[in-house]
Amino acid sequence: MSTYSKGDTNFTGQVKALLNKIYGSSPLKDSVLERAIAYYDLRDFTQLKLDDLARNIATQKAKSDDKSAVRIAKLERDQKEYYRELAFERHERFQHLHAICLEILELSEAESFDETNRKSAKLLGTIQLISPTEGQKVALTNEVNKPLYKGILTLRLLDQLCLKKLLPNSYIDQILQQADSLKYENLATENNDVYQRFVERVKIPLLMAAILQDIGTYHPDAQNIILGGNGENDHFRTLKVEERKALLQINYRETVKYLIEGIGAPMYLGNSKAERDNFNQVEANKLLFIKHLLKSSVQPKQGLGNLLKVPQIYASIVLSTKESYNYKLLPKVYQALYQNAERGICRKDVVDLLYKITGAFPQGYGITFIPSDIDGNVRYEYGVVTQLYPENPTEPVCRSATRNLAFIGHGHDVTVIKNSNLYYVETAKKFSRISKERLNEILELLSSNYQERQSLDLLPRCWQPTEYFSTKNHQKLWNRSQ
């Protein structure tokens, strides 16, 4: 691929900043992950201080001298002040996470169903395209990017579960019933108050659950399993069965503890008792909903936990942290999902719904295809998957990245049918009759140097658009088609 000037669009910059706010690292140590790690690191100290205060109060109460009353009063003030300090810390963590969820909704949703899907495809595709597909940083970057990616998938899966009315008698169903006769897809346009209530009580808690789902793996006990007693093991190594079981137990336990004790429900800041009571009840219900999502996602079977579990499996393959990561195999993600469904790990009908949304090819995946206007000029072109809800899941809607074997910044949309998509063996076999000389000519035009050409297949089944997307002018794949 030829050399491009670097830089990012505002949107790509926003996505990178958002990813850092969730699982990234910063000098201020204020990402969601860093706040959780700091909480875990200080929890023993916090508990020790609370225990000391309680013990000292009890000791003074056991005495009967005149000075003990003064000491008790001071100790109880200190205790109350410390509890207040911890409550404000929880509230601040909640507000930070809540603000991030609002930002995710701003980037991925709109009033209309179609525009929401366009924005979500753009966000998913951008995450995929800024994630390296080769080299040493693949696992680390995918670990950072996975929670946001999974969160967007849960939102779009929620759409289908609500549209298909597959959530009977659940917390979500009860909130929807308050919308009276409004259709789910019209909530945002027909009644903004009802829609905002649905956002606050369902969508934001769902995003919180998706972001926090694996936060417990950063508890010291979990890190001891992952890194080993000496801390020298590879963070992304494949764990032994017994290690994995222990890690899953710790992750669930410590994630829920962090949710309840480290974040909790926000504080009511008004003066009305009636408002406060209603506020506290609503927030308590939301907290229970998040806890239920986390608990039921461990073994979802036929339950609501599939809303988290199915996107979790999908994201763990598309943004894999395993040593076996292979970009070319990403379209096989649904083979793994359906195998999990057959084993009873998740519901097949929920996998079907996600398949309908994403299609076989992940957003941002690089497609090599034979153009329809080939006219004797034998060639293939490059495209990038840019739309959700393809009419046929095996025929992705792409934005063309090349035209006549030259890279372009403003391509057109094309539905790549199966018999023109080189990913499929049957199509590749037909095209393999082309002479090696011609295939080398094409490869020379679509690669930047001899070393790169050496590592590419003569007839590539897909391509990796990461370098292409690193150019600002090529980050506008979701603009109006030319």
How far is 417 from 370, CA to CA, in rounded Å?
10
Nearest alpha carbon to residue 171 among 322, 60, 287: 287
150: which residues sit within 8 A by CB, 6+ positions away?
210, 213, 308, 311, 312, 314, 315
* Exposed / middle / buried, residue 91 (Cβ in 10 Å: 0-12, 13-18, 19+): middle
Question: Could you read off the pLDDT of 449-462 as tens digits, one per residue?
Answer: 545 555 667 788 99
Using alpha carbons, list the distances in angstroms from residue 401 to 103, 171, 319, 385, 473.
29, 44, 23, 10, 11
332: which residues sit within 8 A by CB, 6+ positions away?
none
Question: Could you read off the pLDDT of 210-268 as tens digits, one per residue?
Answer: 999 999 999 999 999 999 878 788 889 889 999 999 999 999 999 999 999 999 999 99
Residues 15 and 126 sit within 8 Å (Cβ to Cβ) = yes
- Give the mean pLDDT of 276-298: 96
- Give the mean pLDDT of 23-49: 93
Q: Quick count: other Cβ atoms within 10 Å of Cβ 193?
A: 7
Cα 67 off chain centre by: 58
In this predicted structure, which of 42-46, 66-70, 88-92 has the lowest mean pLDDT? Answer: 66-70
pLDDT, residue 441, reads: 84
Residues 145 and 319 sit within 8 Å (Cβ to Cβ) = yes
Residue 85 has pLDDT above 80, yes or no: yes
Question: Could you read off the pLDDT of 181-190 as tens digits, one per residue?
Answer: 567 777 777 6
pLDDT, residue 342, reads: 96
- Give the mean pLDDT of 89-96: 97
pLDDT, residue 453, reads: 55
- Give the mean pLDDT of 306-314: 97
Residue 432 has pLDDT above 90, yes or no: no
pLDDT, residue 281, reads: 96
Residue 272 has pLDDT above 80, yes or no: yes
Residue 367 phi, psi (nearest 5): -105, 135
pLDDT, residue 435, reads: 79
Residue 331 has pLDDT above 80, yes or no: yes
pLDDT, residue 443, reads: 81
- Give the mean pLDDT of 113-117: 94
Where does the pLDDT of residue 2 fall: very low under 50, low under 70, confident under 90, or very high at 90 and above?
A: very low
Question: Could you read off the pLDDT of 407-431 as tens digits, one per residue?
Answer: 998 899 999 999 999 999 999 988 8
Residues 186 and 162 sit within 8 Å (Cβ to Cβ) = no
pLDDT, residue 440, reads: 82
What is the overall mean pLDDT for the chain?
A: 91
pLDDT, residue 375, reads: 61
Domain positions in the chain: 10-102, 129-357, 366-474
Residues 399 and 367 sit within 8 Å (Cβ to Cβ) = no
Say which residue, 316 or 169, is predicted with more confidence. 316
pLDDT, residue 449, reads: 55
Residue 66 has pLDDT above 80, yes or no: no
- Give the mean pLDDT of 110-135: 95
| 122-131, 294-303, 437-446: which is most confident | 122-131
Element (H, E) at 435: none
How far is 392 from 388, CA to CA, in rounded Å?
11
Residue 373 has pLDDT above 80, yes or no: no
pLDDT, residue 89, reads: 96
Nearest alpha carbon to residue 462 among 355, 317, 297, 331: 331
How far is 184 from 198, CA to CA, in rounded Å?
10
Length of the chain: 482
Where does the pLDDT of residue 448 fall: very low under 50, low under 70, confident under 90, or very high at 90 and above?
A: low
pLDDT, residue 5, reads: 41
- Give the mean pLDDT of 200-205: 96
Residue 1 has pLDDT above 50, yes or no: no
Nearest alpha carbon to residue 400 among 413, 386, 419: 413
Nearest alpha carbon to residue 182 among 163, 200, 199, 168: 163
Where does the pLDDT of residue 400 fall: very low under 50, low under 70, confident under 90, or very high at 90 and above?
A: very high
How far is 148 from 315, CA to CA, in rounded Å?
10
Return the bridge partners of 366, or none. 384, 463
pLDDT, residue 4, reads: 38
**Torsion of Cα atoms, 31 then 33 then 38 then 40, to 10°:** 160
pLDDT, residue 125, reads: 98
pLDDT, residue 106, reads: 97
pLDDT, residue 180, reads: 61
Residues 230 and 273 sit within 8 Å (Cβ to Cβ) = no
Sheet holding 381-385, edge to edge: 413-415, 397-400, 381-385, 366-369, 462-463
In this predicted structure, which of 78-82, 121-125, 301-305, 356-360 has the lowest mean pLDDT? Answer: 301-305
Residue 200 phi, psi (nearest 5): -70, -35
Cα 182 off chain centre by: 29
Residue 180 phi, psi (nearest 5): 60, -125
pLDDT, residue 3, reads: 36
pLDDT, residue 374, reads: 67
- Give the mean pLDDT of 360-378: 87
pLDDT, residue 324, reads: 87
Percent of the chain scored above 90 by pLDDT?
A: 73
- Give the mean pLDDT of 279-304: 94
- Give the mean pLDDT of 58-67: 83
pLDDT, residue 482, reads: 56
In this predicted structure, which of 74-88, 289-303, 368-382 has the lowest mean pLDDT? Answer: 368-382
Instruction: Please name the residue that has the structure tokens 């403003």.
Output: 410
